[in-house]
């Protein structure tokens, strides 16, 4: 049996560019791709906190250390500069892999400063 699980997440990153006339994708700071374990050209889901849009695209490598989050092509209609987004990647895992499975999550502070990383989401209380 296999399960599709959250592989990686960038939480509350700020969109720095929205470029309509660019080949569709989302450029992400290369350092963040490495930390999150997201590969260039990997499918990602983007959830826009500010307007509720949810869409699928793929990651491309942005300049390392640039703090870039550039939503490109048709997706530029779904996010504008300054919007806060959650970027997620998912993967298939076997039952054996799930025994040691831990997602990689990067939490962003204002100005796209990396606040902290984690491998678990706290339990939501009622």
Please determine, for residue 70, whether its predicted confidence score (pLDDT) is greater than 90: yes
pLDDT in tens, 7-33: 999 999 999 999 999 987 999 999 999
Q: Identify each DSSP E strand in 1-126 by its residue range.
A: 2-14, 17-19, 25-29, 43-48, 54-62, 69-72, 84-94, 104-109, 113-118
Q: What is the structure's pLDDT at 2?
A: 87
Domains of the chain (ranges, CATH numbers): 2-94 (2.40.40.20)
Active site residues: 25, 58
Please determine, for residue 91, whether its predicted confidence score (pLDDT) is greater than 80: yes
Q: List the binding residues.
A: 57, 73-75
- 96: number of CA atoms within 13 Å, CB side? 0
Distance (Å, whole) CA 17 – CA 13: 12
For residue 100, give both structure tokens.
């040691």
Please determine, for residue 1, whether its predicted confidence score (pLDDT) is greater than 90: no
Please determine, for residue 125, whether its predicted confidence score (pLDDT) is greater than 90: yes
For residue 22, give both structure tokens.
């660019």
Q: CA 36 from chain center: how many Å?
A: 8
Global pTM value = 0.95
Picking from 97, 85, 90, the residue whose alpha carbon sits closest to that of residue 7 is: 90
Mean pLDDT, residues 46-63 taken together:
98
Local confidence band at 42 (pLDDT 50, 70, 90 cut-offs): very high
Q: For the chain, what percent of residues have pLDDT higher than 90?
A: 93
Q: List the binding residues for substrate.
A: 57, 73-75
């Amino acid at each position: 049996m296999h399960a599709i699980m959250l592989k990686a997440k960038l939480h509350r990153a700020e969109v720095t560019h929205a470029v309509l006339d660019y080949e569709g994708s989302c450029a992400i700071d290369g350092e963040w791709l490495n930390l999150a374990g997201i590969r260039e050209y990997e499918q990602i889901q983007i959830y826009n906190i500010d307007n509720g849009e949810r869409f699928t695209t793929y990651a491309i490598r942005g300049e390392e250390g640039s703090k870039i989050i550039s939503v490109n092509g048709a997706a530029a209609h779904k996010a504008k500069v300054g919007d806060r987004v959650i970027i997620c990647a998912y993967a298939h895992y076997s039952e054996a892999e799930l025994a040691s499975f831990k997602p990689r999550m990067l939490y962003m502070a204002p100005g796209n400063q990396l606040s902290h990383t984690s491998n678990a989401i706290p339990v939501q209380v009622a």
